[in-house]
Amino acid sequence: PVPYGDTGTRMEVTYWDGGAHARMQGWRWGRAGCEAGLGRRAPAAVLRHCSRAALCPAPQLDPENTGFIGVETFASLVHSHELPLDPAKLDMLVALAQGNDEGQVCYQELVDLISSKRSSSFKRAIANGQRALPRDVLLDETGLGFYKRFVRYVAYEILPCEMDRRWYFYQHRTCPPPVFMAAVTLTQIIVFLCYGARLNKWVLQTYHPEYMKSPLVYHPGHRARAWRFLTYMFMHVGLEQLGFNALLQLMIGVPLEMVHGILRISFLYLAGVLAGSLTVSITDMRAPLVGGSGGVYALCSAHLANVVMNWAGMRCPYKLLRMVLALVCMSSEVGRAVWLRFSPPLPASGPQPSFMAHLAGAIVGISMGLTILRSYEESLRDQCGWWVVLLSYGTFLLFAVFWNIFAYDLLGAQIPPPP
């Protein structure tokens, strides 16, 4: 039993196999906040019984319909149930109580907490409670297996707040795995190997006349084949471009997908790819396009912008050095693409692939991607900024479609004949 404060409130915690069983023998809600025997290390089980208790009909917990959980009502619930407590949710429950002037917890906030919903107002309530979390951090956790250590590493690489890192660490599930970035990278490697073996050329493949005949390559003469605006991401100029993109997709894309989920990261990646090809069709009308750089730069620019905006909270090691290296490598790749576009080292039958997809992907990442990464475990539909970004992107898509339908003929663009 661990005494807490001067009220004699106590908590009994019995550990077994890394789990815990907590029996709350007293609970007091006061103006100073939630005072309960939490100890320095919270148990690592799931809040099952409390989930059933908190999801009771509102009249049972809030008979006066005040919107807050009554002292005696909630205390009796906690006292009468054996609660295996999730550490991250327990921490946030304390912060929620301390964020209220009366030391109370809003009924809806409690339900959202138990059901793992986190809105902007929920996070503001946590902030108002001055982030009343235990001082020990995830780095102090011992006895973790290899995978849990990897999850902890991902948490510190991606998330800027200790509260979010703890939430992710304890809420993380292995299903579904981060399959999108792995599948895209594997497909790109397989396609490259197939064309490399077929053409017997592994560097500067775009200079081979048969390479540009692929049904996957974007070419201005094949704009009516709409799938090419996306499938060009599976083709690459050579081994150097494929290696650079694959490395970034695995090192940055996979951790981002683990934290933010397959839907958000796949949407961001494909939005960067589509924006890249459409931008090329507008700004570099004669050029073809290959490579997944639009999606890669969307992910990387979003992550780097998120790191910069949360610099003090990020705990990834050597972050300044890694930031400089990332910017140097990305700038070098753009410079190489510009050089190949305007100063081809080998005779070519037509214009070489454009570099504008890199820049378009970066813009998508800084705008749409940053909005996604800053909304960890929050609903994007409830955020005005998300709809502004989405409307802007939709307007760009609509403009690009009309441009591809009418502008080439109206401007008399001299595009090279399709291969």
Nearest of 40, 95, 97, 42 to residue 74 by alpha carbon: 97
354 assigned to active site: no
120 assigned to active site: no
Distance from C-alpha of 167 to C-alpha of 233, rounded to nearest angstrom? 34
214, 293, 367, 375: which is the annotated catalytic residue? 293
Nearest of 257, 290, 273 to residue 181 by alpha carbon: 257
Q: Radius of gyration (Cα) for the chain, nearest Å?
A: 27
219, 301, 358, 375: which is the annotated catalytic residue? 358
Distance from C-alpha of 328 to C-alpha of 338, rounded to nearest angstrom? 15
Show which residues are catalytic: 293, 358
